[in-house]
Amino acid sequence: MSRIGKQPVIVPKGVTVTLGKDNQLTVKGPKGELKQEVDRDITIEVKEGQVNFTRPTDQIRHRALHGLYRALVENMVKGVTEGFKKNLELVGVGFKASNQGNLLDLSLGFSHNIVFEIPKELSVKTAQEKGDNPKIFLEGIDKQLIGQVAAKLRSLRKPEPYKGKGVRYVGETVRRKAGKAAGK
């Protein structure tokens, strides 16, 4: 048995989990509603306060899906109760970030500014304090979407290994290389 898949997902008060037709799972909570289609081979049982997942066989495919859907549903429950956050910082001279609603305007050292549209499911804030790097704060209930948007923002200017300039996650450490002097 999958160690992750056999553990039940605990549903807190104020959250409802419903199983629709075609194994469509809907999770509603105080922050919103998320839907996930579950593979037809995985059996879902919604009981008072918990959700259980079972698989029909020990095939590799079934074992993989068993743990996967359990983890996805747990992330959905956490998302509609607490939400998820990702914070990015812009390291480099002249790098700036500002937003108007869900339009993010980034100045990353290119000849033009980059205007990035954040999906309406997420909220974005920017902060630029004197003596500190500009920061971008992303919040939302969908863990996959927030991670995808943060990765896309980071890919616009990845941190380079010599000076460490670029867009990085707050707290991320960049492996630095020695410059020309290392060759002598």
Residues 62 and 135 in one domain: no
> Which structural domain range is residue 61 located in?
9-81
The pLDDT tens digits of the residues spanning 159-181 come to 999 999 999 999 999 999 988 87
Where b means 16+ CB within 10 Å and e means fewer, 146-161 reads beebbeebbeebebee
Domain assignment present for residue 1? The answer is no
The pLDDT tens digits of the residues spanning 53-69 come to 999 999 999 999 999 99
Residues 91 and 77 in one domain: no
Distance between CA 113 and CA 110 in Å, rounded?
Answer: 7
pLDDT for 81 equals: 95
Total domain count, the chain = 2
pLDDT at 140 over 60: yes
Per-residue 3-state assignment (H helix, E strand, C coil) for 114-131 = EEEECCCCCEEEEECCCC
Structure tokens at 100: 């108007």
Determine the 3-state secondary structure of 83 from DSSP.
Answer: coil
Residues 97 and 26 in one domain: no
The pLDDT confidence band at residue 6, using thresholds 50, 70 and 90, is confident
Angle between helices 143-155 and 60-81 (to 10 degrees): 90
Domain assignment present for residue 13? The answer is yes
Residues 42 and 110 in one domain: no
Q: Are 106 and 122 in contact (CB under 8 A)?
A: no
Domain assignment present for residue 43? The answer is yes
**Integer CA distances (angstroms), 174 to 53, 109, 117, 168, 183, in order:** 39, 19, 27, 9, 21
